Structure 1
């Protein structure tokens, strides 16, 4: 999240992108609005400066928020020109993700004023002081914890076989993976695994693999590699395939994101 233009592409922001297993934080100054898009992650969006972030759903007007949760697979556009913002992504199949999704339901969910004041202050300070990656990640995970903390587990736990399948898939996604191989690893028939995976995660197997490959590519780009190098790191055929996938899931060109 940029100012100015790069290669004729309008900027969408400048900042830092940090990933961990099951989540990420994108923090920085936003510029151009996104197109409509959707992705697999739950998105926690926080206005870190004095302004608002704005979201739009199809056939609706723009709505302003200070803090808002966008559920997984929710089609939306986003705009926060000139504002310091944090986008925190959480995998919906994680315990935290399932808890957040159950508590906040479908559609955009505005968070009450003051709910995350301490966590937002910590994020602003960490960003201003250019804190180490580990510290900024810890701040982001504190936000997730604040929204998902409870003595109770979410009402619907992820099926253990799918939980294991995701772990195996994450370990193998850097190489060629097939549905049959992952199904075999968790002792299910391919057809049973196909249906159970969709039922438990809300996404089909192949699009989920694509989502994980996109994560690998983004991590490579965030680490300082070129978009072409990032595309290969994620197993994409070329940078064009990576860029198309990125735009579909985030609503902007990958080249419009500038690292801080």
Structure 2
């Protein structure tokens, strides 16, 4: 990765299984519910976190399981975020990382490492093509254990990474592709990943949207190309997941530098 100048503090690295974001937090009063294992770190000082409408807590760093309703507040309106797709790491790894960050003094070491890595990334001229292992080592200073999956579920997950034609995949089409009934496939999918298929698909659409956050794409076309039935459904889904309107995310990401990871493919139909 080539280095330069003082760098851009607004940066996103997006890959198939990992995402790093450092930038504006946005409206802190709205509930968000991300489909990834989420690590928040304050770029400096602390941020405030409320989980499932509970009391506000001041934290330097926090880890949340997937689909945990929460709210954030930051005096500087900036936040550092690491998203780890739960189907790519073992349950034990996620539980261990959550315990380390939320309940031990070693969390101070983790947040310090993330802040140092953030500074390095800000000054890098080109972060594209990053690999998952390098991402984990740089930001978390560790290798995360992969989840062992049934081959049929692994094939379906792989198809979700082919963003040219999969953003509206149905459970029935996925089931047929691996020679299972729809009901058996849905049961196996949840059993193997710990996730509900419908929620997983909704999250993947919303996550893919982030790759276009700094573009001038039409939101109407973008919604359709990402598999949403219409712009109203698109806006509602994005607000539910990120606590922000799509237009607000676009406005706050104009100066965002976005880098795609190794083998990360955008939806080519997006206009």
**TM band (smaller chain):** 0.7 to 0.9
Partner SS, residue 87 of structure 2: coil
Q: How big is each residue's C-alpha offset from its partner over 1:27-66, in whole Å with a ceiling of 9 and x where there is no partner?
A: 11435314123121111111122x1121102352111111
5+ residue gaps, structure 2:
1-8, 256-271
Which of 184, 189, 207 pairs up with 2:181? 189
* Bigger RCO (CA 8 Å, 6+ sep): 2
Residues 196 and 164 from structure 1, CA distance in 2 versus in 1: closer, same or farther, beyond 3 angstroms?
same
5+ residue gaps, structure 1:
1-13
Misfit runs of 4+, over 4 Å:
135-140
Partner of 1:113: 108
- Supply the RMSD in Å over aligned alpha carbons: 3.0
Is the deviation greater in 15-24 or in 62-71? 15-24
Residues 55 and 157 from structure 1, CA distance in 2 versus in 1: closer, same or farther, beyond 3 angstroms?
same
Residues 224 and 103 from structure 1, CA distance in 2 versus in 1: closer, same or farther, beyond 3 angstroms?
farther
Partner SS, residue 93 of structure 1: helix
Partner of 2:242: 250
How much has 1:20 moved relative to structure 2?
A: 0.9
How much has 1:140 moved relative to structure 2?
A: 4.8
Partner of 1:72: 66
1:103 matched to 2:76: no
Q: Does the 8 A contact of 2:153 with 2:188 survive in 1?
A: yes
Residues 59 and 182 from structure 1, CA distance in 2 versus in 1: closer, same or farther, beyond 3 angstroms?
closer
1:88 matched to 2:82: yes
1:164 matched to 2:155: yes
1:225 matched to 2:225: no
Q: How big is each residue's C-alpha offset from its partner over 1:141-177, in whole Å with a ceiling of 9 and x where there is no partner?
A: 4356535x26xx46x6333321222112332654642
1:4-153 matches, cutoff 5 A: 15-49=10-44, 51-95=45-89, 98-104=91-97, 109=102, 112-127=107-122, 129=123, 131-134=125-128, 140-143=135-138, 146=141, 149=143, 153=145
User: What is the TM-score with the length of structure 2 in the denominator?
Assistant: 0.75
Q: Does the 8 A contact of 2:36 with 2:67 survive in 1?
A: yes
How much has 1:22 moved relative to structure 2?
A: 1.5
User: What is the TM-score with the length of structure 1 in the denominator?
Assistant: 0.77
Partner SS, residue 115 of structure 1: helix
Whichever structure has more strand as a proportion of its residues is: 1
